[in-house]
């Protein structure tokens, strides 16, 4: 028997959507191994964990403290490690979010156990078998984990949440006494909140074909018309200083898997394709019919983006309006 510990994530006292994905991934392992899924969440008092049972948590351990409302690396890691020592866990599963990418290595380091990061597929064969992209997705490695426990972080937007009603029995736990060697003091929110490129269900990205920075308004207007969309950028335009690195899609930027990815004036360098090729549907608009971006696109329009994009924006507005 092998149980799984799923680390859930909250922001502002509400469970993040990605927590359902973590539970689904944890359930995959636990069901194959004949074990249970315990979930753990850290946060301020009153985090609503009622949804966790619906996605497969047999038990939800809630570690509450006003000091834990923001992600604090050391107490978060300490609480998870303490929990692993109180149960027979084959794996600790987290989301490879900004928090998870910092937290997973800490837990693996403290437990001195293997870490498989940013995993995109999971099976069980005498232990977890985890597939993860290497070289930003230019290759996929299948890894056999034989140590127990091990730590697995799963890429957001990959494991489709599956409803799976379990007890979700809530159980409070006291935070461990931990010195805060580093302390998160605040989260600065941007003034105009646009969706993060790694989280958004739709991404509209622009490249060098836009010719100059101010023409990115075409991309922004299309994103606004679509709604629920983030703006992305190619490395070339980030390096040129047109857009911030937070928006860069590709090997030295973000890897994205949205429902819809629209590439505007992006030729499709290898390092860019690596970052977006797992998008569900890809649309490319480019004047060069030989551009590599068309090779990975589901739908393409060959043409002048300065004519095509405004028309597309208008048609989508018409559609949304009617």
Partner 1 sequence: MKIAVCIKRVPDTEARIKIGADGKSIDDNGVKFVLNPYDEFAIEEALQLKEKAGDGEVVAIAMGTDGSQETIRTALAMGADRGVLLQTDVVAVNPVTVAKALAAELDGAGYDLVLFGKLAVDDDSQAVGTIVSELLGLPSVSAIGHLDITDGKGTAEREIEGGVEVVEFSLPAVLTAEKGLNEPRYPALRGIMMAKKKPLEVKPVEVSDEGIAVVELALPAERPEGRIVGEGPDAVPALIEALRMEAKVL
Interface with partner 1 in residues 60-79 (CB under 8 A): 70-71, 73, 77
Which CB, 120 or 168, lies closer to partner 1? 120
Per-residue string for binding with partner 1, 191-230, x by CB under 8 A?
Answer: --x-xx-xx--x-----------------------x----
CA-angle at 99, arms to 97 and 100, nearest 5°: 65
Tell me if 75 sits within 8 A of 127, measured CB to CB. no
Given 65, 101, 173, 176, the residue binding partner 1 (CB under 8 A): 101
Which CB, 131 or 164, lies closer to partner 1? 131
Q: Residue 22: phi, psi to the nearest 5?
A: -65, -45
> DSSP secondary-structure letter at 226?
H
Locus of tokens 């949804």: 51
Please report how close the Cβ of residue 319 comes to partner 1 at its closest, in angstroms.
7
Please report how close the Cβ of residue 129 comes to partner 1 at its closest, in angstroms.
7
Tell me if 72 sits within 8 A of 103, measured CB to CB. no
Rg (CA), the chain: 21
Restricting to residues 136-195, name those near partner 1 by CB under 8 A: 136-147, 150, 181-190, 193, 195
Reported as type and span, the H/E element at residue 260 is strand 260-264
Please report how close the Cβ of residue 158 comes to partner 1 at its closest, in angstroms.
13
Does residue 253 touch partner 1 according to CB under 8 A?
A: yes
Restricting to residues 77-96, name those near partner 1 by CB under 8 A: 77
Which CB, 48 or 307, lies closer to partner 1? 307
Please report how close the Cβ of residue 212 comes to partner 1 at its closest, in angstroms.
21
Tell me if 113 sits within 8 A of 81, measured CB to CB. no
Kindly determine how many residues on this chain lie close enough to bind partner 1 according to the rule CB under 8 A: 94
Please report how close the Cβ of residue 236 comes to partner 1 at its closest, in angstroms.
12
CA-angle at 45, arms to 43 and 51, nearest 5°: 70
Restricting to residues 22-51, name those near partner 1 by CB under 8 A: none
Whole-number Å distance between alpha carbons of 177 and 37: 26
Please report how close the Cβ of residue 77 comes to partner 1 at its closest, in angstroms.
7
Whole-number Å distance between alpha carbons of 221 and 229: 10
Candidates 43-51, 83-91, 159-167, 274-282; binding stretch for partner 1 (CB under 8 A): 274-282
Q: How far apart are the first and last CA of the chain?
A: 55
Please report how close the Cβ of residue 180 comes to partner 1 at its closest, in angstroms.
8
Helical axes 98-111 vs 73-84, angle rounded to 10°: 50
């Amino acid at each position: 028997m092998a149980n799984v510990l799923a680390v859930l994530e909250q922001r502002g006292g509400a469970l993040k959507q990605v927590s359902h994905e973590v539970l689904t991934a944890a359930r995959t392992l636990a069901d194959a191994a004949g074990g249970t899924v315990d979930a753990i969440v850290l946060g301020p008092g009153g985090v609503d964990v009622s949804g966790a049972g619906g996605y497969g948590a047999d038990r939800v351990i809630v570690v509450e403290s006003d000091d834990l409302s923001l992600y604090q690396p050391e107490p978060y890691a300490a609480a998870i490690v303490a929990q692993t020592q109180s149960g027979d866990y084959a794996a600790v599963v987290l989301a490879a979010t900004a928090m998870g990418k910092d937290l997973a290595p800490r837990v693996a380091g403290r437990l001195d156990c293997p870490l498989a990061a940013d995993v995109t597929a999971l099976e069980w064969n005498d232990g977890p078998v985890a597939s993860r992209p290497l070289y930003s997705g230019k290759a996929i490695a299948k890894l056999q984990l034989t140590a127990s426990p091990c730590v697995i972080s799963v890429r957001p937007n990959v494991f489709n949440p599956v409803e799976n009603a379990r007890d979700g029995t809530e159980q409070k736990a006291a935070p461990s006494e931990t010195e805060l060697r580093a302390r998160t003091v605040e989260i600065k929110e941007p003034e105009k909140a646009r969706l993060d490129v790694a989280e958004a269900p739709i991404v509209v990205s622009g490249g060098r074909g836009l010719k100059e920075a101010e023409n990115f308004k075409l991309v922004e207007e299309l994103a606004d018309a679509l709604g629920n969309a983030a703006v992305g950028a190619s490395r070339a335009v980030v390096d040129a200083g047109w857009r911030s690195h937070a928006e860069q899609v590709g090997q030295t930027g973000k890897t994205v898997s949205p429902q819809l990815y629209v590439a505007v004036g992006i030729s499709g360098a290898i390092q860019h394709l690596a970052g977006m090729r797992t998008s569900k549907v890809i649309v490319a608009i480019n004047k060069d019919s030989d551009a590599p971006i068309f090779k990975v696109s589901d739908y393409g329009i060959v043409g002048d983006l300065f004519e095509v994009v405004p028309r597309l924006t208008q048609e989508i507005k018409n559609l949304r309006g009617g």
